[in-house]
């Protein structure tokens, strides 16, 4: 059963690191969401920042129009794995999942938002509302982009990309020059998903934003390695455990260009293929 948006109680959560300059635009977007739901609260889990992210959030606490819980998890990742970004992210994201299930299990939705380029544009409230108009019986809806769909590492789709793309690049194709590996595994799978496309059922997807039914989490957590032991994006393990994960093509959170300089998945020497799933 899906709770209508206007009747829903929502926890907005994020893992944040080195994003001090993004706090105000993110809080602006969250403040717009406050009026769309019955009740909203925010949980932010900060780690490994050297730019005053934690202090910036604290200084802007009163700017936010809903309750905020702020935590720091420095040192909580196993020191042997702290150099692995997805291990640190798994620690932080699991921390907010623990908090949600411990304290807010009676809420309806967990709205996860990356505090990076994927959510800095002014939020499109119609795009968010479209998730609650879908006919599909979803446990998770994830974002699309106006432009090339960028988040291939978190994607698992039986036809489009059924495996850990970076595990494939690091492992099975390790004998090949790295740029050629990227071209084969990543660049050939870059597509544009028009907003009129029907929702796409995946085993895992993300796109920078996801709305999850809290009742569907049921102890599911992030891990940072795949079934073969290769480093993996922490998102995939959670989504596989929850199930009924859809990309909603109307749920657009930002306009991508052909290349995003801080996203290695976009660094291709061939033109991306554009098409429909």
Average pLDDT over all residues of the chain: 91
φ and ψ at residue 29, rounded to 5 degrees: -65, -40
**Residue 42 belongs to some domain of the structure:** yes
Q: What is the pLDDT of residue 7?
A: 98
pTM of the predicted structure, to 2 decimals:
0.91
Average pLDDT over residues 198-206: 98
Euclidean distance between CA atoms 133 and 36, whole angstroms? 14
Q: Which is higher by pLDDT, 188 or 171?
A: 188
Using a 10 angstrom Cβ sphere, with 0-12 exposed, 13-18 middle and 19 or more buried, the burial of residue 122 is: exposed
Q: List, in sequence order, the alpha helices (H) in the chain.
A: 23-34, 53-59, 85-103, 125-130, 165-170, 178-185, 234-242
Instruction: Spell out a b/e string for 28-66, using b for 16 or more CB atoms within 10 Å of the CB, else e.
Output: ebbeebbebbeebbbbbbbbbbeeebbebbeeeeeebeb
Residue 197 lies in a domain: yes
Specify if 276 maps to a domain: no
> Does 277 fall in a domain?
no
Q: Is the pLDDT of residue 263 over 70?
A: no
Judge whether 256 and 145 are in contact, CB under 8 Å: yes
The CATH number of the domain where 72 resides is what? Answer: 3.90.550.10
- Count other Cβ atoms within 10 Å, centred on residue 269: 9
Range of the domain at 199: 5-266
Token pair of 135 as six digits: 């006919």
3-state secondary structure (DSSP) of residue 45: strand
Section 192-218 average pLDDT: 97
What pLDDT band is residue 271 in, cutting at 50, 70 and 90?
very low
pLDDT-based confidence at residue 261 (cuts at 50, 70, 90): very low
Asked if residue 145 belongs to a domain, the reply is yes
Mean pLDDT of 249-258: 88
> What distances in angstroms separate CA 108 from CA 100, 213, 224, one per listed residue?
11, 6, 27
Count of domains for the chain? 1
Asked if residue 275 belongs to a domain, the reply is no
Whether 272 is in a domain gets the answer no
Mean pLDDT of 33-41: 98
Q: Three-state SS for 10?
A: strand
The answer to whether position 258 is within a domain reads yes
Q: When comparing pLDDT for 80 and 23, which is higher? A: 23
């Amino acid at each position: 059963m899906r709770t209508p948006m206007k009747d829903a109680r929502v926890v907005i959560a994020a893992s944040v690191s080195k994003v001090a300059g993004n706090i105000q635009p993110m809080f602006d977007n969250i403040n717009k969401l406050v009026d769309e739901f019955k009740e909203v609260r925010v949980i932010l889990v900060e780690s490994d920042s050297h730019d005053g992210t934690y202090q910036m959030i604290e200084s802007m606490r009163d700017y936010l129009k809903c309750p905020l819980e702020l935590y720091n998890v420095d040192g909580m990742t196993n020191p042997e794995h702290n150099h692995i970004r997805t291990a640190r992210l798994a620690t932080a994201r699991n921390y907010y999942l623990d908090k949600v299930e411990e304290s807010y299990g009676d809420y309806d939705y967990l709205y996860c938002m990356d505090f990076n380029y994927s959510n800095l544009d002014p939020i499109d409230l119609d795009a968010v509302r479209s998730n609650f108009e879908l006919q599909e019986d979803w446990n998770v809806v994830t974002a699309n982009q106006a432009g090339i769909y960028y988040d291939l590492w978190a994607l698992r789709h039986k036809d489009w990309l059924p495996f850990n793309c970076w595990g494939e690049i690091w492992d099975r194709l390790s004998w090949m020059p790295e740029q050629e590996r990227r071209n084969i595994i990543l660049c050939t799978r870059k597509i544009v998903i028009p907003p009129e496309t029907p929702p796409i059922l995946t085993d895992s997807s993300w796109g920078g934003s996801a709305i999850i039914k809290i009742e569907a989490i049921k102890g599911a957590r992030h891990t940072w390695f795949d079934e073969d032991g290769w480093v993996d994006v922490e998102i995939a393990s959670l989504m596989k455990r929850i199930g009924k994960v859809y990309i909603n093509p109307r749920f657009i959170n930002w306009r991508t260009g052909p290349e995003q300089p801080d996203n290695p998945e976009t660094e291709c020497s061939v033109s991306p293929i554009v098409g429909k799933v």
